[in-house]
Every structure is written in C-alpha cells, then in structure tokens.
Amino acid sequence: MEWFGFLNYAVFMAIFICIYALLALGLNIQWGFTGLFNAGIAGFFAVGAYTSAILTSPEAAGRIGGFDLPVPVGWLGAMLAAGLIAWPIGKICLRLRSDYLAIATIGVAEIIRLVIKSEGWLTNAARGITDIPRPFGDLAYLMSQLAYLAVVGGALLAVYLLVERQFASPWGRMMRAIRDNEDAARAMGKDVPYRRLEAFIFGSALMGLGGALFAHFNRTITPEAIDPMVATFLVWIMLILGGSGNNRGAILGVAVVWIIWSMSEIVTDQLPHEYAVKAKYLRVFLIGLMLQLVLRFRPEGLLPEPQGDAHARRAPAATRSPGGAD
C-alpha cells in the first residue's frame, strides 16, 4: 500500500501549497503591487484561524465560542476580522515611512500571539481550540483529504482570478503607479493613503482566510501553529523566490519552497535521533541558500513581474476601460 501513503502525502502537500498560496497572494497585493512591508503575516493568519474556529466549533467549557455556525460563515468572519485588525494599523502607519508599518505589524503579531497564549477565556490558551469542523470530514480519510483539496483549490482559483482581474484593471495600474512613484500619483489627484489602505486590508483579509482554511484542515488550532518562522518568514521567501509582483510567480514560489521544506523533513526524520534534531536546521539552510542563489542570478524571481501592458493583455476585454481609477 505504498502508493496509498504516497498519494495521501501528495494530497496533504497540495492542500498546504494552496493555503500558503493564499498567504503569498495576500502579501503580493501588499508588497508586490503596492510596496507595503508587512512583517506580521503570522498575526493576521492567527486572527483568521481563531475567529473561524470560535465561530464554527461546538460549545466548550471555559472559553468563548460554541456558536456552531456553518463553515463558510466562519471563513467570511475570518476575513472580516483580519481586515478589521488591519484597518487601524494601516490608518495610523500608512501615512508615515514604510519602516513604521513593518515595526507596527511585527508588534501587533506579537501582541496577538501573546493574547492567544494567555487569554484562556477567548482562545483556551495553550490547549487551543479543538473539534473544529472540516467540510466533508465525515468521509473516508483519503476521500476527505481529496474533497478538502478541491475546496481549498477552488478558493485559491477564485482568489487568483479575482486578483488577476483587479491588477489588470485601472485599479491595478494605479496601485503600481503608487508603488513606483508615490509623488507622481499624488500629483495626478490619487488618494494615495486611502488606496494603500485598501491594498493592506485586502491582503490581510486573504491572510485571514488562509488561517481559517488551515484551522479547519487540522481540526484544531494551538499557539504553536502560529510560528513566525513558517507563517511570516517562509511566506516572504516564497514570494521573493517566485517573483514579487507576479501572482503566478507567487504560487510557483510557494510550490517550490514548500516541496523542499517538506521533503527535507522526510530526509532528516530518517536519521538517528541525535542527528535528526540538529539536521532539521538543514531545511532553513537549504531555503536560505536557494534564496541567495536566486537573488544572485535572478533577482527578479523565477517569474518576474510582467512589464508594460502584459497585465492588460492577460485581462478579459470586459475588464478594460479607457479611464483611470480614482
């Protein structure tokens, strides 16, 4: 039954690739197309995961929740909660230099992590939230995995098409103009702070959705899952390697990095215990080495941002208009 185990692991990896692709697309909206440095991806990921878990899980003693709402309601709530957290951060910081946003997002992510670990009435503290429903979770194991892959794959496809449509529209061209020359965009009458806030909230909402999909896949969420190494640092590596400013590049970067990250874990697990613990750092080394090679020989990423009118050519004719966006 080796083929069964291989198929199950392949489906497992594909689900995680889809979830991380949503995080990378959210970061691409913020950084790749608007130039916003979000260093707190893990915080928005956590807000989405715990919000959906609280809304959809059954009643449990000692913590808020027990609403037992439908899973799609939890996912919408996750996006809304992440967007609401992003709004005051962006409102305060986006009018200042970009490094203030990076500092603020790191701080907020740490605050969220500490609240999750300490406020038992809200998140059940270190024990986390269990019994999170998974769509099609009552099917046989492999069928349940395949069904959930179809769900997250459908969500990723819908988000990808929506984002591509927006970036090929006058709104997307305006965002890239703000990123490339903020003063010129302001001189043309664009409301730069408002448009940057739009992109920051939109990207954060997608990160919240990624967190919700992660929680429902695992059927549990604990503070240990909110690791900045894999929920912030790794997403940045994926986007830089794949190609900032290119949605296809972001998804490609996710696939490449996650396959290397996962396969290296399989290799290190085969080593004796005294070596396996140290060898796990080999994953970080391999990812770092790959990033250095890409930055040295292909700094624009594996799939660079399309230049000129490439976005317009890829857009449906119905999305194009001769006018600009306000």
pLDDT, tens digit, 9 for 90 and up, residues 146-196:
999 999 999 999 999 999 999 889 988 899 898 888 889 888 888 888 999
What's the Rg (C-alpha) of the chain? 20
Residue 247 lies in a domain: yes
Q: How many CA atoms lie within 13 A of 11 on its CB side?
A: 18
Distance CA 301, CA 24 (A): 14
The CATH code of the domain that includes 168 is: 1.10.3470
pLDDT number for residue 319: 42
pLDDT averaged over every residue in the chain: 88
Q: Is a pLDDT exceeding 70 seen at residue 326?
A: no
Is position 1 within any domain?
Answer: no
**How confident is the model at residue 94, as a pLDDT?**
83
Give the pLDDT band (50/70/90) at residue 321: very low
Q: Percentage of residues in the chain with pLDDT exceeding 70?
A: 91
Largest interatomic CA distance in the chain: 65
Residues in Cβ contact with 1 at an 8 Å cutoff, skipping those fewer than 6 apart: none
Per the domain annotation, does 323 fall within a domain?
Answer: no
pLDDT for position 308: 58
Residues facing residue 221 across a β-bridge: 129
Total number of domains constituting the chain? 1
Taking only the tens place, the pLDDT of each residue in 293-303 is 888 898 899 99
What's the predicted TM-score (pTM) here? Answer: 0.90
Contact at 8 Å (CB) between 252 and 239?
Answer: no
Does residue 324 surpass a pLDDT of 60? Answer: no
Residue 34 inside a domain? The answer is yes
97 in a structural domain: yes
Residues counted in the chain: 326
Residue type, 195: R
**pLDDT above 70 (res 322):** no
Q: Is residue 291 part of a domain?
A: yes
The answer to whether residue 325 sits within a structural domain is no
- pLDDT band of residue 266 (cuts 50, 70, 90) is confident
Domain interval for residue 184: 9-317
* Residue whose C-alpha is closest to residue 166's, from 209, 130, 126, 195: 195
Whether pLDDT at 5 is above 50: yes
pLDDT digits (tens, 9 = 90+) for 31-80: 999 999 999 999 999 999 999 999 999 988 888 887 999 999 999 999 99
Kindly state whether residue 4 falls inside one of the protein's structural domains. no
Provide the percentage of residues in the chain whose pLDDT is more than 90. Answer: 60
